[in-house]
Structure 1
Amino acid sequence: MTHWPDPTSRSKQLYDRGLKVLPGGITRTMPWQDPFPVYAARGEGAYVIDVDGTRRLDLLNNFASLAHGHAHPAVVEAVRRQVGNGTAFTLPTEQEVALAETICARAESFEQIRFCNSGSEAVMSAIKAARALTGRPKIVKAEGVYHGSYDYAEVSLDSNPSNWGNDPNSIGYSKGVPKGVTDDVVVVPFNNVEAAERIIRANASQVAAVLMDPAPSYLGFLPMSKDYIAMIECVTREIGAVFILDEVITFRAHSGGAQTLFGINPDMTTLAKIIGGGFPVGAVVGRRELMKVYDHRAGKPALPWSGTFTANPVTMTAGKVTLDLLDDSATDRMNRMNVRIINELNVAFKQSGFPGQVTGFASMFMIFGHTRPVIDYRSAYATTEEANRIKALQRALTDEGFHLASTGKGILSTPMTDADIDHFIAAVSGITKGGLRT
């Protein structure tokens, strides 16, 4: 049997085929790794099996969208039943109402919900809603924080020492971003209360929304501080801006999301990932008064928002089963396993002298190739040498039977066992103890 990255492997054959019909041979860039990606064949609980038959512990779970790992029997059975009754209708369905009721019961700020098809769409819709509600053009976001693939949300995602300035600059992510886009995005440092408040207030009359992630993945899932949360809530209320909390990833932290854990009081929240149970989904949820922006009953709404596959019954069914199974007990268990990973690997790194650290929040972690304290995007930012150190670790873990992001990110699932975590900790400890060739 061949294994990745053997040039005779099935993954290599599929990659060669893909090169003829897909730019760069793939559709998503995040799963890429040199010299070609591993291709999945199927998933079983906490494990993913590639096309060459290699079984790996899946520590990514489709970037946090699979709370219960792969092919959970209850989700599979419910989806099979629904597919037999139809996959998409022009008409609304009971499944849409049922999932909406389930989600709206989970957090105090969740009064009404509007579904869409991805986290990127959810953020886009929330930004447009804030502009419609306030009549203002600008949004505020934190430097280096990911909010999906929307020009405004991507600003300053990958700024670097050559362009980030003393106060964060508004830097377009992809080539060709119009100046009008960057002009309408105000960038603030994460968790720096004084600087962020000063910058927001300087733009107060034009700010439609402040968009924040309670524990940004690019910053190693660093939580918002209590003082930063209080400042954002206070300033947005005072200047009449909408406080949008991006819980696309962090909603898995608790039955009511990170906002319930941290006591955050947003006006609107964006959701996706786990609420679709492994199918494409997104949503904006918020206070009833603000959600009127989508209401069509008096004529054209302030924000018309629809989509061909929005709230399709397959996604709605999978999402409800997933959330019903994801109670506080299941979430707490994943969170405890994550604490073990963080604590035990940090001890192992100190003992071996490996120049790295692990940070994280809830059931999510990130391995850094440096040891400086992570307090914001700039302290988290990896040099080429540091990034290559983690890529080398990820490659070695791929060989050892673990699926981890090349950036060092990992997200747990409920089927994982203590033995799975033991094996992962032992593998990382052994690889880093022996040194890494980058």
Structure 2
Amino acid sequence: MTLEDTTKTLAMSQEGSFPLHMTEFDLNLVVHKGVMPFEQFARRRWATANFPPVQGLDVLDVGCAFGLSGLHFANIGARSVTCVDISALAVGNTAENAVRNNIDNLQALQSDVFSNVPSGRPFDAIFWNAPSRLDPNTNHCGEEPGREIIDSEFLVLRRLLAEGPNWLTQGGRIIVSLGGNNSADILTNIVQENFLECSTLIRGSGEDGKACTLIQIHKPFDRANVRFDQSERLTKRARNVYPAGVTRVSIGTIPIQGMSDRLSIYAQSGEGARVTDVDGNHYVDFHNNFSTLVHGHRHAGTIAAVASQLERGTSFGNATAADVDLAEMICERVPAIERLRYLNSGTEAVMFAIKAARAMTGRTRLAKLEGAFHGTYDWAEVSTRSHPGNWGDSPSSIAPYRNTPAHVTDDVVVLTINDVERSRNIIERHGSELACIVVDMLPCAAGMMPLDESYLSMLQDVAHKHGILLISDEVVCFRLGYQGASAARAFQPDFVTLGKVLGGGLPIGVVGGKKILMEAFAPQDSAPVPQGGTFSANPLSMAAGRAALASLTAPELDRISALGCYLREQSEAAAAENDLAISVQGAGSLFRFHAKKTRPCTYREAHHNAMESEILRRLQVGMLERGFYVAAPFWGSISTSMGKTHIEDFLNAFRSCLSEIPEIKEFCNRSAP
């Protein structure tokens, strides 16, 4: 049913043709007489269609009418929706529509705003579709028909903004749909009266051509409201059981302002784009477990797949249909993978790719990019942590840990990122000795600078010339294209290693490649490279991985890549406006901040001195306190559970950090060349 059809029908219905039946947002709806003025329908539908993502959120829909907005939110993944209306008829209509559409995560209540909403129930978003007129009754003495309704709606707005903040979770917001010419000024005045902040989410027009705006309103940032008591207690307990008080080098401690000691932030739960810590602080999660959670937390399809597998068992000494299902999906999707083997981590995937390359070439040495991290296999880890004190004039093979056997570093040739001629010369000198070159299209640890087309072309040419096998490590950067990073860059590797997003949040590693080369792992009883693992191809990871990969569609990848581009560009623009030396590298839905005036193109350019590192540390902590979680030193990823609003909120918090943390400007000025 078109908008014109709907509005005409609603208009006619005022004359008695109720109940009206319609289909909107794939919902089968019935509308009873008197639940909503038909002239409000176009803007309500526009607001519902353009509302920020609600996956995993608790939402309150004030003035629900027949339930269009709340039902849609519940249907697309909100954790819970509470619909309230002062009209008992509207509440009954909404409840009826919930039953008609088998929606069980929605509750409809008769309430004048918050009166009958159960106490102690905070909301992540409170929505109100305002009427076209909001001007208060000043001096009309009841002469204008319908004036009392306008006054009532004006009072709803006043109450919504006076009491609403007390019903919000930390980081929650009130979202108001506005129309009419004077509404914005009236709303702004009431926002200021209540010491709140507001910003425009989106402007547009309904299908009736009338202007529509979504405004978000929230409490200003107050550091005093952020508590870390439980995380502090757990950090102290952890120091009694873990070396350095942490379980892995990638999970460190951070200095929170006002705290006497550094602490780890302990997670309690996650939902969609948000994670909640043990103190009840909420964060928009741009960390996503080091980019693993490409769909955010508790992705519905992944949860359902894992739950289904749990009913049948967690692991077996047998193969399962689940591993074949996922393998077929990967082979069909990634051109470079004709055969594959499963492992339990990206480290293992790279390790077995290197072993296979050695077995199939008869050579032992390998080449890798300076600063690039490929897991913790000795040879793959060489020069990951090189620094000005040991890297010398040319890229050197730097031992990854104390007392590394000398032959490990001797076996590794190190290349300069994006330096075509120098890298070509190095490979030419050692070409007959090299089994493989390990390549990351977007080496995160080295600075997340994309490899130049000319550099990738050189690697392919020189590798082919000398019979060197190419390993494309896509554990992090697979998300750069629907068929993976190498296919997106027209790079033709011999092996591809995968992990992270392929496991849907559970442990996984994949080594795949050309059929003839993957024979390194066959036959079963006398393979050149024996490969096994008690939990390799475990059915939980297989089920989660298949669900996650199926949901990682080309349109979704394009959408979050566009969001990533927007975040990088606008962050740099904000820094430039403040005359600060901050740039952002990355590609697709991945980003990494640098305390540099211009984007670095090599690992050495990306290396941060102590002062530059301090800038990033202050930014990371500042964003954390404002409800945005990023990985240290300052990098992250965008998940499919995010929308444009999440990015705008990130940018607003980033601008706040730039203006409210004076040390950042001080450090930037001191570190400028």
Q: Partner of 2:251 in structure 1?
A: 31
Unaligned runs of 5+ in 2: 1-169, 171-223, 255-261, 665-673
C-alpha offsets along residues 154-183 of structure 1, whole Å, 9 cap, x if unaligned? Answer: 111121112212220100121121111000
Matched, 1:311 2:531: no
SS of 1:167's equivalent in the other structure is coil
2:603 maps to 1:383: no
SS in 1 for 2:334: coil
What is residue 291 of structure 2 aligned with on the other side? Answer: 64
Match of 1:349 in 2: 575
* Candidates 514, 519, 538, aligned match of 1:292: 519
In structure 1, what is the equivalent of residue 71 of structure 2?
A: none
**CA separation in 2, counterparts of 1:67 and 1:372?**
28
| Number of the residue aligned with 1:55 | 282
Whole-angstrom distance in 2 between the partners of 1:63 and 1:4: 24
Equivalent positions of 1:27-426 (< 5 A) are 27-34=247-254, 35-297=262-524, 299-426=525-652
- Match for 1:23: what amino acid? P
Number of equivalences: 435
Contact 1:355 1:369 in 2 (8 A): yes
TM-score scaled by length of structure 2: 0.63
Distance (Å, rounded) in 2 between the aligned partners of 1:106 and 1:73: 22
Name the SS of the counterpart of 1:146 in structure 2: coil
Q: Give the secondary-structure state (helix, strand or coil) at the position aligned to 2:372.
A: coil
CA-CA distance at 1:30 after TM superposition: 1.7
Is 1:13 paired with 2:233? yes
1:69/1:414 contact within 8 Å kept: yes
Higher strand share: 2
Which residue in the other structure is 2:31 paired with? none
What's the CA shift for 1:29? 2.2
Cα distance in 1 between the residues matched to 2:508 and 2:552: 17
- What CA RMSD, in Å, does the superposition of the two structures yield over aligned residues? 1.4
The SS at the match of 1:278 is coil
- Answer 1 or 2: higher relative contact order, Cα 8 Å, separation at least 6: 1
Of 306-315 and 158-167, more deviation after overlay is shown by 158-167
Q: Write the distance in 2 (CA, Å) between the matches of 1:5 and 1:406.
A: 20
Deviation of 1:4 after TM superposition, in Å, equals 6.3
Q: Is the 8 Å Cα contact of residues 115 and 282 (structure 1) preserved in structure 2?
A: yes
Mean CA deviation greater in 98-107 or 160-169: 160-169
Q: Which runs of 5+ in 1 are unaligned?
A: none
Deviates more, 1:364-373 or 1:87-96: 364-373
> Which segment is superposed worse, 31-40 or 320-329?
31-40
**Counterparts of 1:133 and 1:238 in 2: how far apart (Å)?**
16
3-state SS in 2 of match to 1:114: strand
CA deviations 1:138-168 (Å, max 9, x no partner) are 0100101111111111111121112212220
Asked if the contact 1:248–1:271 (Cα under 8 Å) also holds between the matched residues in 2, the reply is: yes
CA contact (8 A) 1:4 1:11 kept: no
**CA distance in 1 between partners of 2:586 and 2:363 (Å):** 35
Q: Decide whether the 8 Å contact of 2:345 with 2:499 is kept in 1.
A: yes
Other structure's SS at 1:21 match = coil
CA pair 190-5 structure 1, distance change in 2 beyond 3 A: farther
* Cα shift readout 1:203-240 (whole Å, capped 9, x = no counterpart): 11211110010111124321111111111111111111
Instruction: Provide the rounded CA distance (Å) in 1 between the counterparts of 2:529 and 2:249.
Output: 32
Alpha-carbon separation, structure 2, partners of 1:279 and 1:322:
11
Matched position secondary structure for 1:367:
strand
What is the TM-score normalised by the length of structure 1?
0.97
CA contact under 8 A between 1:170 and 1:185: conserved in structure 2?
yes
| Contact preservation (8 Å) 2:238, 2:245 | yes
